[in-house]
Amino acid sequence: MPSIPPTATILGVKVHALTQAHTLALIEDFITNGQPHQLATVNPEFVVEAQHDAEFRRIINQAALALPDGIGLLMAARFLSTTPLPERVPGSDLVEQLAGLSHQKGYRIYFLGAREGVAEKAITNLKIRYPRLQVAGHYAGSPALEENEAIIRRILPTRPDILLVAYGAPKQDKWIARNLDQLQIPVCLGVGGSFDFIAGITKRAPQWVQHMHLEWLHRLIMQPWRWRRIWNAVPRFSWLIFWSRFKNSNTNLIVIY
């Protein structure tokens, strides 16, 4: 049975030292075990947000797995000499890998969130690569409280093994935390804009740009209206990390803005 790895603590936020293979092994274990588990795909923007959103911070720190989605986290862990993070576990790659597992093992996946029609398109594309993908259902819905009960009633009878929630952070993670007990789904994972990537609506950076760790720059050029989020993910995060090491207070929260 695979064991849960240690965590790196980055500005008070815990991130598990996972590889992609280890993550998949644990997910299979969670499905066998049947208890509900919340997984979060943590990137530098999450860590910045968690500095002033205590609920979000608590949710990440209590998640069964907080996946290191973002090269900035790997660099920060090294710079702060906390537990080393061996590799990135990006949410959209994980969705592909889970579709592959579903194809092989028959796990049922529910696709919640993204704009109307996007999940269907993502499923169509995944089925080209994984024809035996088991889709428990899909629904755009909304993370608004008024819709909560109707969405639960829709998902429960479909009995998925894996629930992917694409409402963006922190809404998707709060949605999962609020509903985890009621849903009793073994694996509930917030996946951000992954359905948009898989549906081909948002283009991911070319491989060479990803290898140079410049995916954020590609995003800034393609989606300039996201500048504030990219500002948080890159310069603000870097500044907070430098400041944290300077103050030697890595495990403490620092609210300096």
Q: Which residues bind ligand UDP (CB under 6 A)?
A: 113-115, 142-143, 166-169, 171, 192-193, 195-196
Contact predicate 56/106, CB 8 Å: no
Q: CB nearer to ligand UDP: give 208 or 225.
A: 225
Query: Which residue, 29 or 120, has its beta carbon nearer to ligand UDP?
Result: 120
Q: Is the bond preceding 170 in cis, omega lying within 30 degrees of 0?
A: yes
- When the beta carbons of 186 and 192 are compared against ligand UDP, the nearer one is 192
Q: Which residues pair with 9 in a beta bridge?
A: 14
What is the 3-state secondary structure of 90-132? CHHHHHHHHHHHHHHHCCEEEEEECCCCHHHHHHHHHHHHCCC
Residue whose CB is less far from ligand UDP, 12 or 170: 170
Please state the closest distance from residue 196 (CB atom) to ligand UDP, in A.
5
- Pick the closest to residue 192 from 94, 53, 108 (CA basis): 94
Buried b (16+ CB within 10 A) or exposed e, 216-229: bebbbeeeeeeeeb
Residue 30 or 197: the one with the smaller Cβ distance to ligand UDP is 197
The minimum distance between CB 166 and ligand UDP, in angstroms, equals 5
Residue whose beta carbon is closest to ligand UDP: 192
Q: Given the complex with ligand UDP, which of 115 and 129 has the nearer CB atom?
A: 115
d(CA 73, CA 237): 10
Tell me the C-alpha distance between 1 and 26, whole Å.
8
**In the complex, least distance from residue 34 CB atom to ligand UDP, rounded to whole angstroms:** 28
**From the CB of 165, what's the least distance to ligand UDP, in Å?**
9
Query: Which is closer to ligand UDP, CB of 145 or CB of 256?
Result: 145
CB of 81 to ligand UDP, least distance (A): 28
Interatomic CA distance for residues 96 and 139, integer angstroms: 19
The nearest distance, CB 141 to ligand UDP, in angstroms, is: 8
Decide: 179 and 112 in contact? Cβ < 8 Å.
no
**Least gap, CB of 32 to ligand UDP (angstroms):** 29
Beta-strand runs (E) in 94-251:
108-113, 134-139, 162-166, 187-190
